[in-house]
């Protein structure tokens, strides 16, 4: 028979496996959403996906999965490289309205040159269902998910840069 501790571990594993089934994955159509950026401008996914490949990533400003300097540097570099070709990069903070000042400070301190929004009530997060944070979604022109990176590991910056380089060469 299973002991209580073993049952808890089995339950957690099953919950994780089920969440993977419903998470947005490569090859799927990216969810549609509408949100205001930190300046109050409406940001619609249809506009983001319409004209060029895009990067959507989820993060917290709390420090546990705060965007790292290395990760932010690659997003800034990618944005500067491809902005004339229409790339959209949207950083989605999962901190809610109560921590808006903290998010705005993180955006300023990290010199984020791309669009930043706060996902109040985790509505957008619940559509994408990332399995770890930070989570990065590379999306094609038209809205198909090309790549998903859950968590942030050494080498992810190179992956992001290489994928986008290939995508933009095909345009």
Q: Does some domain include residue 8?
A: no
Query: Considering the entire predicted model, what is its pTM?
Result: 0.82
Q: Does some domain include residue 7?
A: no
Domain span including residue 159? 26-170
Number of domains forming the structure of the chain: 1
Q: Is the pLDDT of residue 4 over 60?
A: no
CATH number at residue 49: 3.40.30.10
Q: Does some domain include residue 151?
A: yes
Helix orientation angle between 156-170 and 69-82, rounded to the nearest 10 degrees? 10
Tens-place pLDDT, residues 80-93:
999 999 999 999 99
Q: Does some domain include residue 9?
A: no
Least confident of 16-25, 114-123, 129-138: 16-25
Residues 6+ apart with CB under 8 A from 152: 65, 68, 71, 134, 136
Tens-place pLDDT, residues 9-33:
444 433 333 333 445 577 899 999 9
């Amino acid at each position: 028979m299973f002991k209580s501790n073993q049952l808890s571990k089995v339950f957690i594993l099953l919950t994780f496996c089920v969440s993977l089934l419903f998470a947005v994955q490569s090859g799927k159509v990216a969810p549609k959403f509408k949100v205001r950026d930190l300046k109050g401008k409406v940001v619609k996914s249809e506009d983001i996906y319409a004209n060029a490949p895009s990067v959507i990533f989820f993060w917290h400003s709390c420090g546990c999965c705060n965007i790292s300097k290395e990760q932010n540097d690659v997003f800034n570099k990618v944005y500067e490289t491809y902005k004339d070709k229409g790339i959209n990069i949207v950083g989605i903070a999962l901190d809610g309205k109560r921590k808006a000042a903290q998010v705005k400070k993180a955006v300023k301190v990290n010199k984020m040159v791309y669009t930043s929004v706060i996902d109040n009530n985790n509505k957008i997060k619940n559509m994408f269902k990332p399995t770890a944070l930070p989570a990065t979604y590379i999306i094609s022109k038209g809205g198909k998910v090309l790549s998903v990176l859950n968590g942030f590991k050494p080498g992810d910056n190179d992956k992001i840069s290489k994928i986008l380089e290939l995508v933009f060469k095909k345009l």
